[in-house]
Structure 1
Amino acid sequence: MNVTPIRDSAEPSLQPMLALTADDMHAVNSVILERMQSKVAMIPELAGHLIAGGGKRLRPMLTVASARLLDYPGTRHHKLAAAVEFIHTATLLHDDVVDGSEMRRGKRAANLIWGNPATVLVGDFLFSRAFELMVEDGSLKVLKILSHASAVIAEGEVDQLTAQRRIETSEEEYLTIIGAKTAALFAAACRVAPVIAEASEEQEMALEAYGRNLGVAFQLVDDAIDYTSDEATMGKALGDDFRDGKMTLPVILAHARGSDEDKAFWRAAMQGERSSDADLAHAVALMRRTDALNDTAEAARAYARRAIDALSIFPDTSARKAMAEAAQFAVARAY
């Protein structure tokens, strides 16, 4: 059994994945543009602000790549990949309202331009469009996978909301939250391809595992770079998670490993009492001193390895290599 390793020397790239999926993603984007239209002018205007906002379309790309890995000859995955992107975009619109975000994908957040009510309702519209596309596919199993993922994402978002500013949140609770709010859609995006390709259950579960582990790795890296990157790279304001009191793994580890004085700082910070730029800089210093950022990145690498290992049942094709390198790329963003 061949296992593609995480490469430490060469700089991983998303380019092989982009090349693998380019033709299919052109068709997916056509579906997205067609189905986001409405006779209500604000809907495509607001939806387009985010959909055309520079996202890599990684989740629908996973559906397409999984279909390519299986040599699926049909076109059903185009609509399903579009459904995945609509689910993701809907959750982002709702998230920005919940979080009071100012930036998304390097642009002003939609809720600041059109207001919270319109943003929530357009998110609802995109969810509805996603379900229309699922029903049109005609597979009850596909509908079950994607509808269940939508419910799990919502549960994860509520779970995160209840954990917000709660310094007692454990690492286990955090991993449960990101497994729901992020990894569930990654897993579902990969899993629908073997269903429509009529692949084996082993292949279906392998791709589900690839997506789930990649999703966790992706979110771990996102949570780390919130403290180490810049607005241009992230597409959102540096330290948003810190000021929102989000209990992410870097905070959980730094708090657990800190002195009593450190713990007092973290409690005050997560309660919103320490939120200045100087406080953010102090938080980053504490994370570095306790190796919280390094260990978060290492955890992401471990999940990326699991994702790559899950592909080992498939032939060592260019599609498998591209998907493995996508996992490497997701983690490399932390460095």
Structure 2
Amino acid sequence: MDQVALQELRGAAKNGQGGGHAATVLQRAIQLASLDGPLAAVREQVEALASTGPWPASEAAEHLLMAGGKAVRPLLTLLSAQAVGGEAEQALGCAAAAELMHDATLLHDDVIDDGQQRRGREAARVIWGNTVSVLSGDLLFVAALQVAAADGPAGVLSELVDTVGQMVEGEVIQFRHRGRWDLDLATYEQIVERKTAALFRWCARAGGRAGGGTAEQVQALGCYGRHVGVAFQLRDDVLDLTATPVVLGKALGADLAEGKLTLPVLLALQKRPELEPQLRRLAESKDRPDLTAIEQLAAAIRATGSLVAARERMDRELQLALAALAPLPPTPAVRALTSVAEVVASREG
């Protein structure tokens, strides 16, 4: 990857105009790191494992997989292997485990949240029901653990088990606080660290281990992954109040309607506590969410300036992620990790 190409990639990531452009930049990063083939191999493995389970759980899993996805977690895993001097092919199993684990959480999340849409399509639970959706997620969870056990280097499986535990803890903490508008920043951070950042951290560490990295390199990659994961979630929080359903793949204000307290809402309530009754009515309503009410409430939250503050926090996390890469040599893969982090934080869907 030459310097001109790198500058072009990083500039495009920072100045992109919408989700389509971010996807183009991401694809450019994949091409520059020669990862088209390895990512295709990961996708084939994931689809094969999902399809071998019993019907109808396998069909529900395939429905989710056919909707596509950005494959950010497998990409970070493969790049992390390259970043320590290894080959992407050494981390194919870890990358497949990362995607299987992520997709499993999506199937479960839609049941917990009564989700109607996922990746621009009807959620699996809408078609097959909650029971099948849960079992389908379980199928992918098991497949992820099996792949990590069979193909991952020493230590990767135990770390993945720990990561799953953190993700479950984060989900439970969030569920416990659903509809409560007195959530403090420390609890919000605890949820984000466990629900989202933990898997990003595992992806980077697993890739580094698979590529033969030193303990210092693996630790640096884990720090990078953690901060990228936090930035990713902060971007999701912002998009919940700004993106269109077509771009985001789910309804505007979905988190608002579910009673989830995101960072922009938390910050908005600090400035305008009188918004709490509106939030409570929306979250406690048994009827289908009123889109007009959601749009008005989202506009009121945006007017407090909380989105600006959330973006500033996201930028700080991104800077910490990039700083974490300092111990690694300035290889093409490390530079690609830099650009991918910027794309993750600037995406529109």
1:273 positional shift: 8.7
Q: Which residue number corresponds to residue 315 of structure 2?
A: 301
Residues 52-91 of structure 1 mapped to structure 2, 5 A cutoff:
52-73=66-87, 75-91=89-105
- Asked if residue 106 in structure 1 is aligned to residue 120 in structure 2, the reply is yes
- For the Cα contact (< 8 Å) 1:224–1:250, is it kept in 2? yes
Alignment of 1:86-165 (within 5 A): 86-137=100-151, 139-165=153-179
Single out whichever of 102-111 and 269-278 deviates more from structure 2. 269-278
Work out the CA distance in 2 between the residues paired with 1:94 and 1:267. 24
Q: Is residue 297–residue 331 contact of structure 1 (8 Å, CA) maintained in 2?
A: no
What do residues 13-63 of structure 1 show as CA deviations (whole Å, max 9, x unaligned)? 213432222221122112112222226232332111111212011111111
Structure 2: distance between partners of 1:271 and 1:115? 23
Corresponding residue for residue 265 of structure 1: 278
List alignment gaps of at least 5 residues for structure 1: none
Structure 1 residue 129: deviation in Å?
0.8
TM-score scaled by structure 2? 0.88
Deviation at 1:302, TM superposition (A): 1.1
Cα distance in 2, alignment partners of residues 113 and 163 from structure 1 = 29
| Paired letter, 1:329 | V
1:247-267 deviations in whole A, cap 9, x for unaligned? Answer: 111110111111x53344344
> Structure 1's 18 and 171: CA in aligned 2 closer, same or farther, altered over 3 A?
same
Equivalent runs, 1:1-335 vs 2, <5 Å: 10-11=15-16, 13-19=25-31, 20=33, 21-38=35-52, 40-73=54-87, 75-137=89-151, 139-258=153-272, 260-272=273-285, 276-333=290-347
Q: CA deviation at 1:184?
A: 0.3
Paired with 2:45 and 2:130, the residues of 1 have a C-alpha distance of 27
State the alpha-carbon separation in 2 of the partners of residues 149 and 74 from structure 1: 22
After superposition, the C-alpha distances for 1:226-256 in whole angstroms (9 at most, x for unaligned) are 1111011100111111111111111101111
Displacement of 1:311 in angstroms is 1.2
| Partner deviation per Cα, 1:60-106 (whole Å, 9 max, x = no partner) | 11111111112213734111111111111111100001101000000
Structure 1 position 326, deviation (Å): 1.2
Instruction: Please state whether the residue corresponding to 2:297 is helix, strand or coil.
Output: helix
* CA deviation vs aligned residue, 1:136-172 (integer Å, no higher than 9, x gap): 1364411111111111111111111111101111121
Q: Say what the alpha-carbon RMSD is for the aligned residues.
A: 2.2
State the alpha-carbon separation in 2 of the partners of residues 98 and 273 from structure 1.
Answer: 15
Measure, in 2, the Cα distance between the counterparts of 1:115 and 1:267. Answer: 27
Alpha-carbon spacing, 1:63–1:288, altered in 2? closer, same or farther (3 Å): same
Distance in 1 separating the partners of 2:14 and 2:132? 47
5+ residue gaps, structure 2: 1-6, 17-21
Task: Tell me if structure 2 keeps the 8 A contact 1:244–1:272.
Answer: no
Alpha-carbon contact 1:167-1:270 (below 8 Å) kept: no
Give the 3-state SS of the residue equivalent to 2:51 in structure 1.
coil
Structure 1 counterpart of 2:275, one-letter code: D
Partner of residue 4, structure 2: none
Aligned length: 330
Q: Distance in 1 between the 2:236 and 2:117 partners? A: 15
Deviation (angstroms), 1:272 = 4.1
Q: Over residues 269-321 of structure 1, what are the superposed CA-to-partner deviations in whole Å (9 max), with x where a residue is unaligned? A: 44449953332233222222211111111111111111111112222222122
Does the aligned pair in 2 maintain the 1:67–1:193 contact within 8 Å?
A: yes
TM-score, normalising length: structure 1: 0.92
In 2: Cα distance, 1:236 partner to 1:282 partner: 18
